[in-house]
Structure 1
Amino acid sequence: MDAHIQSLPAPRVPADRRRAARPLAVLAAVHLALNLSVSVTFAAGPAIQRDLGLNRTDLVLASAAYGLGFSGLLLLGARLTDRSGRRAVFSFGVGLFAVASVAVALAPGPWPLLAARFLQGCGAAMAAPAAMALLRTVFPDGPARTSATVLWGLLASLGAASGIVLSGALANWASWRWSFAVPAVVGGFALALTRRFLPVGPPARRVPVDVLGALLGTGALIMLGCGCALVSRYGWSSGYVLGLLTAGALMLGAFAAAERRVRAPLLPPGFLASRTRATAVLCAMFAPGTGAATAFLLGLYWQQTRGRSALDNAEMFLPYTVVLLGVGMVAGPAVGRCGARAVAVGGAAAAAAGLYVIGGLGVRADSTPLVLVGLAFVATGVGSVVSAAVERAAAGAADRDTALVGAVVNTAVLAGPTLGVALATSAAQSRTAALAAAGVPSPAVGGYVFAFEALATAAVVVCAVAAYGLRPRRRAGEVRTSVPVPSRGWH
């Protein structure tokens, strides 16, 4: 396949917006579908529980299975993108994602559901870094690339919000299974249009594949993610939880050690040495994680505590989606005019305020208007932080490193919801159990309030970290023009 790709002539990159609109539409549709699949279990969760006999921990695992497969294999997907070609890997990933989505829609029980969700994430892990690399082929440089990159970051959050609305509506009107059929249809159409609209990209390069690094990195994320997901059932002191977290930490350490010894590591040791890039990756993890945790908790609160329907839940998130669209119209110019640091700090502050309004005021007083106001602030914060983070993470990266940048950013974006949902659910259930033991009335409400206030505190911490980590460099010599890699690294 390498020789075949290298023999093809390099396609002419679109020179104007009209010609770039069609490939952008294909890539954006797939990007939305990949991120939409993160959140389809949020509003439709209670319906899935009833249909397949899941408990709350099983539902968290069903959500985490997709994120773990997605985030765990992204670095491998980036390497395969370089080795086999951007469009070829994109096509393979989208095809696997579509087939697995159909398998999820037809799942007869919990274990087939979890297996198909993980396979769905594996397909997404191949498609996502190739899609971001193709985006930079379509927009080679200049303001158009900056705007497209900012839009790319926003689409991740918008896709997650759309998943909540779509799954809630479909669960109410038809079946939760249609929530997984829709991404399959999007993937099928995108696959049919790929050869017609998407460029092949630069010639493939014969780079080694770090299989050991892929196994260790994926295993570490799976162990850590499952450990966090099981906290809500067994508690932090459980042998199951401690065993999984310890195994995950050991595998993560082994991954870091292995990457220093292989000739072409999946993650070059110097990649996150940049303070700006490391902070951007942290922000890229925090913002989607906060949005996902908020959506998951509110879905359970509204449907199981307040007795509302999945459609009601979907309608509650319509303003959230509208605000994200509004942020998308101003995020690019705001980052260009005010700088990524100001946008990220302001976004984290808005998210902190919104989370406190949701938990400390809205949920505590059972006030839907206050919850909606809080959601508007959270949407503003999530959209702003993600847009700024993606722009800073990609800034200065050479074109040959775009697949790596896309993989790392998407790993953070996907790991955030997996960990955020698991930890926030654990916090809510632990607090609920403590309040119930103390005889406090409505302990479940108190648990949700505590979880949202904990998320607000985390947002304040991220606000301070972004203010420090995204400071402009004082000396021109500190600015890198490409991803820092060791002499035996990525290439």
Structure 2
Amino acid sequence: MSSKKKEMSSSAQHGTQYRWWALIALALAQFLVILDASIVNIALPSLAADLHLDTNTLSWVITAYVLPFGGLLLLGGRLSDRYGHRQLFIIGVTGFVIASAAVGFASSGTWLLTARAVQGGSAAMLAPAALALVTRLFTNPQDRANALGIWGAVAGIGSVAGVLLGGVLTSSFGWPSVFYVNVPVGLLIIAVTPFLITKDKPGKRASLDLPGAAAVTAGIVALVAALSGTERVGWTSPLTLSLAGVSVMLLASFVFIERRASNPLVPLEVFRNKSVLSGNLVMFLIGGATTGLFFALSVYMQQVLHYDAMKAGLTQLPLAGALVAIAGVVPVVIQKLGTRLTLAASLLLFAAGLIWLSLAPSNASFVVHLLGPSIAIGIGLGGAFVAGTELAVHGVGANEAGMASGLVNTSQQIGGAIGLAVLATLSAIKTRALLEGGMNVPQALTGGFAWVFLGAAAFAVIGAIIVLTVVRPSLSRGVINQSITIGEKGNRP
């Protein structure tokens, strides 16, 4: 069959007649997935009061979601390749809706954390399937570039909108509403998807790499548990060292399994593509920086500056507005400067905004101390999400679209879980040291949060260094068009 006939067949199969409407539905689902990693931040104080949760448990309200999300994304990508992207997408959205309702009804910490874990597992099914559908719906290079630009922007907007909507909903309707909001939106997505996207043909029924999935998920859980516990028991305690050792062994066994599996969860040769490798490393670092940022910023505003939930959410409008505004022009900037330079510049601006934010005092004025950093962070983060997503899918064949999509999301969510564990621990250590030194509570908390912002800035700077040193200058322009050509041929550079 000629390439033109293949493209026509693919277009018919995936319902490209309504592809832009389909993109809205898919992006909306992705928005919910990213939103739920951050929307709970503003609600944490209210949630803690109702369910009697201590500060250490609060971070696990976020971690319980992002850990299974990140840990199971690779398996979710493979499942979507095997059983059909649309089918796994609908199953994932259904599970996400049910789990969201269950979280809202939670009457104990155990119930809430369990339901959050189910939310994360469902997100791990729908997210890679959704991005795979996007890449297969849009075969024209320019259309795909625009679609991926929208997709990357949605990811960034979801992180910021979570803080904004979390404040409005918590203040108006209570903390359960931040989870209930997923239900009607999810049901709408489930209802319209069969009409917008035709059922795609499942891939080969090869064996699933369940041992690999178990090893990488358990290894990441052990690592985050080790990092999260260091503030209480210390870096050299038997518990910390044991968990760290178990994590190293599990992650090493994952690499061993992947090298020998007939149908590996992640074909390790994909990382020979420096664009894919660097793109995923950058998304890992972005995930760590943004999760730590919004967790610390939400608590800082409410516990130090004494903003109520509504005010804390509304103060994120400049950041969200800057992100939305820049997301619309990033694809144009990429066409001019290339993905490499656009991504590096965005990461450095993101880092500059975080460093600026770290200087805010315990009696900060929003206009004087927070507005400027918020705008800089929004612009940098918007550019980084769009360009980072595009770089991370460069050069991957269409037959592995689900795997590549899962890998991008995995990098971001695992980065979020590990980054939050590291930054929250550093913040707690710094705060305790300042309190023991005689500093008052607001100033000590502010000093601890400053370490979070500086640590997040370090993540962004490391990401920029990776992009500038690993990505070839020859890929500075036309990355998207090249990736589509390579992907459609099914080759890896």
> TM exceeds 0.5?
yes
1:467 matches 2:468: yes
Deviates more, 1:112-121 or 1:185-194: 185-194
Deviates more, 1:276-285 or 1:362-371: 362-371
CA contact (8 A) 2:25 2:193 kept: yes
Mapped to 1, the partners of 2:277 and 2:252 lie a distance apart of 18
Mapped to 1, the partners of 2:45 and 2:439 lie a distance apart of 26
Of 364, 373, 387 in structure 2, the residue corresponding to residue 366 of structure 1 is 364
1:156/1:466 Cα in 2 relative to 1: closer, same or farther (>3 Å)?
same
Residue deviations 1:381-419 (CA, integer Å, cap 9, x gap): 122112111111112222111111101000011112222
- Aligned 1:145-184 pairs, distance under 5 A: 145-184=144-183
Residue deviations 1:462-491 (CA, integer Å, cap 9, x gap): 2222211223348xxxx88357789xxxxx
Alignment coverage as a number of residue pairs: 473
What's the counterpart of residue 52 of structure 2? 53
Deviates more, 1:123-132 or 1:284-293: 284-293
CA contact (8 A) 1:11 1:201 kept: no
1:331 matches 2:321: no
- Aligned 1:233-248 pairs, distance under 5 A: 233-248=232-247
Mapped to 1, the partners of 2:404 and 2:279 lie a distance apart of 11
Q: Secondary structure, in 3 states, of the residue corresponding to 1:73? A: helix
CA contact (8 A) 1:11 1:200 kept: no
Mapped to 2, the partners of 1:131 and 1:259 lie a distance apart of 25
What's the counterpart of residue 199 of structure 1? 198
What's the counterpart of residue 12 of structure 1? 12
Q: CA deviation at 1:364?
A: 5.8
1:288 matches 2:287: yes
- Aligned 1:401-420 pairs, distance under 5 A: 401-420=400-419
Q: Secondary structure, in 3 states, of the residue corresponding to 1:54? A: coil
Which AA in structure 2 matches 1:157? G
What's the counterpart of residue 37 of structure 1? 36
CA contact (8 A) 1:352 1:459 kept: yes
Q: CA deviation at 1:287?
A: 1.8
Q: CA deviation at 1:288?
A: 3.1
What's the counterpart of residue 263 of structure 1? 262
Q: CA deviation at 1:15?
A: 9.2
1:23 matches 2:22: yes
Q: CA deviation at 1:41?
A: 1.9
Mapped to 1, the partners of 2:61 and 2:413 lie a distance apart of 14
1:211 matches 2:189: no
What's the counterpart of residue 6 of structure 2? none
CA contact (8 A) 2:60 2:113 kept: yes
What's the counterpart of residue 351 of structure 2? 352
1:275/1:485 Cα in 2 relative to 1: closer, same or farther (>3 Å)?
closer
What's the counterpart of residue 100 of structure 2? 101
1:233/1:174 Cα in 2 relative to 1: closer, same or farther (>3 Å)?
farther
What's the counterpart of residue 83 of structure 1? 82
What's the counterpart of residue 5 of structure 1? none
Mapped to 2, the partners of 1:248 and 1:464 lie a distance apart of 27
1:328/1:182 Cα in 2 relative to 1: closer, same or farther (>3 Å)?
same
Q: Secondary structure, in 3 states, of the residue corresponding to 1:35? A: helix
Give the TM-score normalised by the residue count of structure 2. 0.91
Which AA in structure 2 matches 1:411? T
Residue deviations 1:161-203 (CA, integer Å, cap 9, x gap): 1111111111111111010111122211111111111132344
1:452 matches 2:453: yes
CA contact (8 A) 2:429 2:448 kept: yes
Which AA in structure 2 matches 1:43? I
Which AA in structure 1 matches 2:404? V
Which AA in structure 1 matches 2:95? L
Unmatched 5+ stretches in structure 1: 1-8, 487-491
Deviates more, 1:148-157 or 1:435-444: 435-444
What's the counterpart of residue 386 of structure 1? 385
Mapped to 1, the partners of 2:46 and 2:76 lie a distance apart of 33
CA contact (8 A) 1:220 1:249 kept: yes
1:469/1:11 Cα in 2 relative to 1: closer, same or farther (>3 Å)?
closer
What's the counterpart of residue 443 of structure 1? 444
What's the counterpart of residue 5 of structure 2? none
Indicate the RMSD between aligned Cα atoms, in angstroms.
2.2
Residue deviations 1:286-320 (CA, integer Å, cap 9, x gap): 22321221111011111112221111110111111
What's the counterpart of residue 309 of structure 1? 308
CA contact (8 A) 1:79 1:266 kept: yes
Deviates more, 1:411-420 or 1:36-45: 411-420
Mapped to 1, the partners of 2:278 and 2:36 lie a distance apart of 26
Deviates more, 1:434-443 or 1:150-159: 434-443
Deviates more, 1:286-295 or 1:128-137: 286-295
Mapped to 2, the partners of 1:458 and 1:206 lie a distance apart of 39
Mapped to 1, the partners of 2:85 and 2:96 lie a distance apart of 16
Residue deviations 1:205-256 (CA, integer Å, cap 9, x gap): 2121111111111111211222223334433233333322221221101100
Q: CA deviation at 1:432?
A: 0.9
Mapped to 1, the partners of 2:160 and 2:84 lie a distance apart of 31
Sequence identity (%): 29
- Aligned 1:128-143 pairs, distance under 5 A: 128-143=127-142
Which AA in structure 2 matches 1:286? L
Q: CA deviation at 1:14?
A: 7.8
Mapped to 2, the partners of 1:473 and 1:211 lie a distance apart of 38
Give the TM-score normalised by the residue count of structure 1. 0.91
